[in-house]
Structure 1
Amino acid sequence: MSSLQNKIADRTATVGVIGLGYVGLPLSQHFTDAGFDVVGFDVDEERVSRLRVGDSYVDDVDDDTLTETVARGFRPTADPAKLAGCDAFVLAVPTGVESGTPDMGAVRQATRTVAEYAPDRDVLFVCSSTVYPGAADEVIRPALENSGRIPGDDILVSVVPERLNPGGEYDFEEIPLVVGADSVRERETAQALFDSVVAETVPVGETITAESAKMIENTYRMVNIAFANQFAEFAENAGVDAWEAIDAAGTKPFGFQKFTPGPGVGGHCIPVDPQYLTWRAKQTGTGLSLVDNAIEVNEAVPSRVFGQIKTALSAHGTDLDDASVVVLGMSYKPNVGDIRNSPALDICELLINAGASIHPVDPHVDEAVIVDERYEPASAIDRGTLRSADIALFLVNHDKFDTDKIAEDSNLIFDAQNAVPEYNDTPVVRLGDGNSEVSSSSLKSPVSRR
């Protein structure tokens, strides 16, 4: 066992987490819980100031947990020089897509920062940011070499893709993590670090394999969500209740995993990662038409939902340019406050451009993360506003939403989540309900829900 592995084993190693967002902050908390000294670096000084006083902006780390984590020695900083004493560095900076091309700017800059400030001894560098297959070879190792480090020698390189599930049913430590590295020494060192915080690590032979595994995971989800969304459109035209059919298919105990339709796909991973894969595929001369088509299907859903909302309002005697609309849910998934790539934002933009007056509500979204004040959500539903609105859009099924009261107070509901209960006096139009022709007569009673 190397000296670095010994330091990890006896918890005398200091871990530097680069990027303190939705991935980096939970990682910092779990490494601190495991007994490591943790330095958390972020270029956003306002974020760092909030963290120091126990003010969390991440759903999975509440204020009390953050306060305890800081008290146990977690040190948030915007000063890269504070990284000089670290033995292991975990990269958790954001990545994205610009005009169909992966944006690795933050990864490249963060790697240079580590290379500049890492101590002159053996250290571990782990990329947990989501990157395209081959990024470790084409971005990370060259950036380290250009800064005078020797990947695989004095700086051990590994890729351990994040598998956080905000608002999901699995705890962080229950989710196995894939560990990819190009040498046994690098792989075992990275495994030793992550074995301290999760129940299982899954070693693979190269960094590109770990990068590819992340692409497979999220592209699989995106393609199957696209099928569910496209099936919902088919169901509306064929007179099929998509939700009942999908539930019935889900009773099969093998060979099937249930995915459901919705107003679109959002978050950092699902809309972005498949584009890394298709971009790389084009470079290698490989066609991934299935993935390309699935991306197109999902990107079109917000516009289709907008059209259905317009039709429902018209059938109810209201023009969209004169409509008051309560939007229930602005984040990309239930019970989280993350608005990145949320389809709710796209739908709101379409509504505003059409002249509608929107009233967003989301109990999880911090209004500070909303760049455009037109989308700033109230934290709770105002019953007076709901009662006077022409339509309520149920876009995100947060547990904090009381669907009984929503149905009781609404004049008309568009339900994109199959969440609203049946009410005799509340017209409800569901996405994928088998009723593509929304008429005034069909809105006199709610759509049948079984």
Structure 2
Amino acid sequence: MFKELLRKIDDKEYTIGIVGLGYVGLPLMWTFHQAGMPVLGFDIDQDKIDCITEGRPYIKHLGREMMQELAGSDRCEATNQFDRLPEADAIMLCVPTPLDEHREPDMQYVERTCFTVGENLREGQLVVLESTTYPGTTEDLIIPILESKSGLTAGEDFYVAYSPEREDPGNVSFNTAKIPKVVGGHGEEAIRLACAVYDTAIVETVPVSDTKTAEAVKITENVFRAVNIALVNELKVVFRQMDIDVHEVLEAADTKPFGFMKFVPGPGLGGHCIPIDPFYLTWKAREYGQNTRFIELAGEINTSMPQYVIDQALKALNAHKRAMNGSRVLVVGLAYKPDVDDMRESPTFKILDLLKKYGAETGYYDPHIPEIKPTREHEEWTGTKSVEWDEETIRSYDAVIISTDHSEIDYGQLAEWSDCIIDTRDAMNGLAKGPDHVWQA
């Protein structure tokens, strides 16, 4: 069976099944399709299925051309009929792994998906978890569910692997195909099979000894970023008190060709990975009697940044003899990073919440997000629409907070239209008209 599966991969007769067609699953579908593999996508969201079938984009930075090519291909199909899972040779799970209200791992999406996959599992299939999670998830959670629901045995009747997603939405230099894939498997055959599958579409595979090692790799990558972002966020606060521009410091430090890696401060952490994943390790470490003090301290610093932004906004308004309570404050940028429409875990939501708490009348502008769609944690903002970008609208606000520095925003116009700007991204560098015009936050 193993040799026959390798032959099917070589001959591109091996069907890739992808469960979850969001920011990870959709690019993965495209990547395997581009490599000549047949792809079958699964999602519970009928709107996504319709978009793929009709060639309409629902993730802006991926573009219309990609969607139209998927829609017109006889090697690609999307469905919400999960009884078709046996048609796939490999089933890749790309579902959310958020935190619950206690800041602990919420595995309900992974568990539900595994129940469904297990009920439809057949001999010879490869199941790969791509969702970021804590070390031990595949062995302790995924495999027991799949075995109990299918009556099959992992490593004998079917194969299981873990290969963490490494997506960076909007990154024009590194798409899915260009980012090396770490692969860990339940047994040697699972590793070889998973590597063979990814080798058809990804620039490089990096096999590691087992699934928990691969899970630890992904957690380490995101902890590294979270800790370093916390460091520069803390430096920003300290240097401001010293009347030192942290951005100028970082630019100069970045000229050193070794021993330094530049990270950029901001209003807090956003995206599905960095604000969440380190706490998966923190939670798991407690099971082993270990405290992750460094990670938790970084989390405290990063989660405190929206309040720091509000504190600077209070000072900026005060300099203009205005109170926060009753003021109109516009937040520019809802997406968590520039030039994408991804608002998952965006710190802008926390800024909006705090503004409302302080009695401000709020609005937001984002050229990539015309309306706030439903989210798990910020339902009260659902349906809120982006304001228009024109002089009359911008001048109607007492202050503007730049939360995301989209490249298509005309910051020169903003400098002319608003006399009170709180800049969390150094977007107004060189455009300030006076000492009270732009506040660095």
**If the length of structure 2 is used for normalisation, what is the TM-score?**
0.94
The CA distance in 1 between the partners of 2:37 and 2:372, in whole Å, is 32
Aligned to 1:6: 7
Aligned residues of 1:182 and 1:205 also touching (Cα < 8 A): no
Q: 1:142 to 1:393 in 2, by over 3 A?
A: same
Matched, 1:429 2:438: yes
The CA distance in 2 between the partners of 1:289 and 1:173, in whole Å, is 36
Matched, 1:420 2:412: no
- Mapping of 1:108-127 within 5 angstroms? 108-118=111-121, 120-127=122-129
Please report how far the alpha carbon of residue 238 of structure 1 lies from its aligned counterpart in structure 2 after TM superposition. 2.0
Aligned to 1:439: none
The CA distance in 2 between the partners of 1:255 and 1:196, in whole Å, is 36
Secondary structure at the aligned position of 2:311 is classed as helix
Q: Residue by residue, what CA displacement relative to the aligned partner does 1:195-218 show, whole Å, maximum 9, x if unpaired?
A: 111111100010000000000000
Please report how far the alpha carbon of residue 50 of structure 1 lies from its aligned counterpart in structure 2 after TM superposition. 2.8
- Aligned letter for 1:286? Q
- Mapping of 1:372-387 within 5 angstroms? 372-373=380-381, 376-378=384-386, 380-387=388-395
| 264-273 vs 403-412, greater mean Cα deviation | 403-412
- Aligned letter for 1:431? Q
Q: Could you tell me which of 405, 419, 432 is aligned with 2:413?
A: 405
Aligned residues of 2:432 and 2:438 also touching (Cα < 8 A): no
Aligned residues of 1:166 and 1:336 also touching (Cα < 8 A): yes
Aligned residues of 1:407 and 1:421 also touching (Cα < 8 A): no
Secondary structure at the aligned position of 2:314 is classed as helix
Aligned residues of 1:328 and 1:395 also touching (Cα < 8 A): yes
The CA distance in 2 between the partners of 1:113 and 1:423, in whole Å, is 55
Superposed CA RMSD in Å reads 1.7
Aligned to 2:164: 161
Aligned to 1:442: none
Aligned residues of 1:418 and 1:430 also touching (Cα < 8 A): no
- Aligned letter for 2:213? T
- Aligned letter for 2:251? D
Aligned to 2:106: 103
Q: Residue by residue, what CA displacement relative to the aligned partner does 1:377-399 show, whole Å, maximum 9, x if unpaired?
A: 42752321112221111110111
Aligned residues of 1:389 and 1:411 also touching (Cα < 8 A): no
Q: Could you tell me which of 189, 195, 215 is aligned with 2:219?
A: 215
- Aligned letter for 1:328? V
Secondary structure at the aligned position of 1:372 is classed as helix
Aligned to 1:362: 366
Secondary structure at the aligned position of 2:105 is classed as strand
Aligned residues of 1:404 and 1:421 also touching (Cα < 8 A): no
Residue ranges of structure 2 left out of the alignment (5+ in a row) = none
Secondary structure at the aligned position of 2:300 is classed as helix
Secondary structure at the aligned position of 2:161 is classed as strand
Please report how far the alpha carbon of residue 424 of structure 1 lies from its aligned counterpart in structure 2 after TM superposition. 5.7
The CA distance in 1 between the partners of 2:259 and 2:437, in whole Å, is 33
Aligned residues of 2:163 and 2:183 also touching (Cα < 8 A): yes
Aligned residues of 2:162 and 2:211 also touching (Cα < 8 A): yes
Aligned to 1:184: 188
Secondary structure at the aligned position of 1:392 is classed as strand
Q: 1:363 to 1:87 in 2, by over 3 A?
A: same
Q: Could you tell me which of 83, 86, 99 is aligned with 2:85?
A: 83
- Aligned letter for 1:290? F
Aligned to 1:440: none
Secondary structure at the aligned position of 2:325 is classed as helix
Spell out structure 1 runs of 4+ moving beyond 6 A. none
Aligned residues of 1:262 and 1:431 also touching (Cα < 8 A): no
The CA distance in 2 between the partners of 1:423 and 1:182, in whole Å, is 56
Matched, 1:129 2:138: no
Q: Could you tell me which of 290, 294, 317 is aligned with 1:290?
A: 294
Q: How many aligned residue pairs are there?
A: 431
Aligned to 2:62: 61
Aligned to 2:30: 29
Q: Could you tell me which of 136, 140, 152 is aligned with 2:155?
A: 152
The CA distance in 1 between the partners of 2:363 and 2:372, in whole Å, is 17
Please report how far the alpha carbon of residue 275 of structure 1 lies from its aligned counterpart in structure 2 after TM superposition. 0.2
Aligned residues of 1:232 and 1:431 also touching (Cα < 8 A): no
Aligned residues of 2:97 and 2:109 also touching (Cα < 8 A): yes
Aligned residues of 2:372 and 2:381 also touching (Cα < 8 A): no
Matched, 1:197 2:201: yes
Matched, 1:50 2:51: yes
The CA distance in 1 between the partners of 2:350 and 2:209, in whole Å, is 41
The CA distance in 2 between the partners of 1:369 and 1:212, in whole Å, is 33
Q: 1:47 to 1:368 in 2, by over 3 A?
A: farther
Q: Residue by residue, what CA displacement relative to the aligned partner does 1:174-202 show, whole Å, maximum 9, x if unpaired?
A: 21110111322111110111111111110
Please report how far the alpha carbon of residue 133 of structure 1 lies from its aligned counterpart in structure 2 after TM superposition. 0.6
Aligned to 2:176: 172
Q: Residue by residue, what CA displacement relative to the aligned partner does 1:14-40 show, whole Å, maximum 9, x if unpaired?
A: 111001111111111111111122111
- Aligned letter for 2:89? D
Please report how far the alpha carbon of residue 251 of structure 1 lies from its aligned counterpart in structure 2 after TM superposition. 1.2
Q: Residue by residue, what CA displacement relative to the aligned partner does 1:22-65 show, whole Å, maximum 9, x if unpaired?
A: 11111111111111221111112233223322222223422221
